[in-house]
């Protein structure tokens, strides 16, 4: 029996049990994936409990992708470089940290846009933002701009330190933000703004995007959102209305899940299973109000 879990706060919106059940079925595994809300004060104990209960591993979501690192026995070089862990593997009572978000995001974006020699804007400074920045740079993006709200936050200071000299940083209130958005070929939301149940919110107001549309050709832009629920966020709806190509976080979740599942089980996920996951999750999420 293989048992894994998603930990974070909150996790009720997640459809990960459905995703991993598809992968498990094709692999012929007896498998269970749980969703567990974990309070910050209980994070260390939750990780210890996963070892005691012999879980094969964990997926980590908001807000703990950076916080878990201090409690792990080993962290993969790529995850250390990114500064965030979203996948943990339990190997004989030792916890190993990986980042499969970067792979998931870039595979998803590749389905819709060529990254090489492109300019990108990433909104946010958390774990998802770090994964996107690392993936975009590795994919050959010529310029990455990170927009942040809180200059004094630990996360903002951390990403500035870790990507110093590689990324340009700008505040949401900077008068040049509209120019940066206009110049970018890829605009990524890596914040939780717009996630269910607050689905009407957007990290960039529609009025601001209208100003951007006057300066940049939206038909040549890809707007990407790391959020998968709702399937099409307000951020994406606004961009679509102005003529941009859009991509939600469903495929990012699917692809990161492929790598996580393979790390946990040693089983390869077939293309057929990925296609089935895309179809099923799209159908499921479009039904969610």
Q: pLDDT digits over 198-221, tens only?
A: 999 999 999 999 999 988 889 889
Q: Tell me: do 196 and 276 sit in the same domain.
A: no
Q: Which of 25, 41, 65, 278 is catalytic?
A: 65
pLDDT at position 287 is: 75
Q: What is the CATH number of the domain that holds 268?
A: 3.40.50.10860
CATH of the domain at 122: 3.40.50.720
Residues spanned by the domain of 127: 103-248
Taking the C-alpha atoms of residue 112 and residue 65, their distance in angstroms, rounded to an integer, is 26
| Residue 272 bears catalytic tag | no
In the chain, where do the E strands start and end?
A: 2-8, 31-37, 57-60, 74-75, 87-91, 94-98, 119-123, 143-148, 168-171, 186-189, 222-225, 245-247
| DSSP three-state, residue 137 | helix
Residues 131/84, Cβ–Cβ less than 8 Å: yes
Decide the pairing of beta strands 2-8 and 31-37: parallel
* Whether 152 and 201 share a structural domain: yes
Give the number of other CB atoms < 10 A from CB of residue 111.
Answer: 11
Say yes or no: 235 and 260 in one domain. Answer: no
What is the per-residue pLDDT across 241-275, written as a single tens digit (0 to 9) for each?
999 999 999 999 999 999 999 999 999 999 999 99
Whole-angstrom Cα distance, residue 232 to residue 246?
Answer: 9
Q: Is the peptide bond before 197 cis (omega within 30 degrees of 0)?
A: yes
| Mean pLDDT to the nearest integer, 42-60 | 97
Residues 37 and 111 in one domain: no
Mark whether 46 and 152 lie in a shared domain.
no
DSSP 267: P
Q: What is the pTM of this model?
A: 0.89
244 and 264 in a single domain? The answer is: no
**Is the same domain home to 194 and 243?**
yes
Q: Which residue has the tokens 């974070």?
A: 8
Q: Are residues 155 and 258 in the same domain?
A: no
* pLDDT digits 0-9 by tens, 64-123: 999 999 999 999 999 999 999 999 999 999 999 999 999 999 888 887 776 656 899 999
**Token pair of 96 as six digits:** 């190993």
Number of domains in the chain: 2
- Alpha helix segments (H runs only) across 98-247: 101-110, 127-138, 154-162, 177-183, 206-215, 234-241
């Amino acid at each position: 029996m293989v048992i894994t879990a998603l930990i974070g706060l909150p996790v009720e919106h997640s459809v990960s049990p459905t995703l991993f059940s598809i992968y498990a079925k094709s692999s012929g595994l007896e498998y269970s994936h749980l969703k567990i809300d974990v309070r910050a004060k209980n994070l260390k104990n939750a990780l210890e409990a996963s070892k005691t209960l012999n879980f094969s591993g964990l997926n980590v979501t908001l807000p703990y992708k950076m916080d878990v690192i201090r409690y792990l026995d080993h962290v993969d070089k790529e995850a250390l470089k990114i500064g965030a862990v979203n996948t943990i593997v339990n190997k004989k009572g030792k916890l190993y940290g990986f980042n499969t978000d970067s792979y998931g995001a870039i595979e998803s974006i590749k389905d819709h846009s060529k990254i090489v020699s492109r300019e990108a804007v990433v909104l946010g400074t958390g774990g998802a933002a770090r994964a996107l920045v690392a993936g975009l740079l590795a994919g050959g993006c010529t310029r990455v701009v990170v927009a942040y709200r809180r200059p004094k936050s630990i996360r903002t200071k951390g990403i500035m330190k870790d990507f110093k000299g590689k990324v340009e940083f700008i505040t949401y209130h900077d008068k040049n933000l509209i120019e940066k958005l206009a110049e970018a070929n890829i605009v990524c939301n890596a914040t939780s703004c717009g996630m269910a149940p607050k689905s009407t919110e957007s990290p960039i107001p529609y009025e601001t995007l209208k100003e951007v549309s006057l300066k940049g050709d939206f038909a040549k832009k890809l707007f990407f959102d790391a959020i998968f629920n709702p399937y099409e966020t307000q951020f994406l709806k606004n961009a679509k209305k102005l003529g941009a190509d859009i991509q939600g976080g469903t495929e990012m979740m699917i692809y990161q899940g492929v790598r996580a599942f393979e790390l946990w089980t040693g089983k390869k996920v077939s293309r057929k299973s990925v296609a089935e996951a895309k179809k099923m999750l799209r159908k499921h999420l479009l039904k969610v109000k």
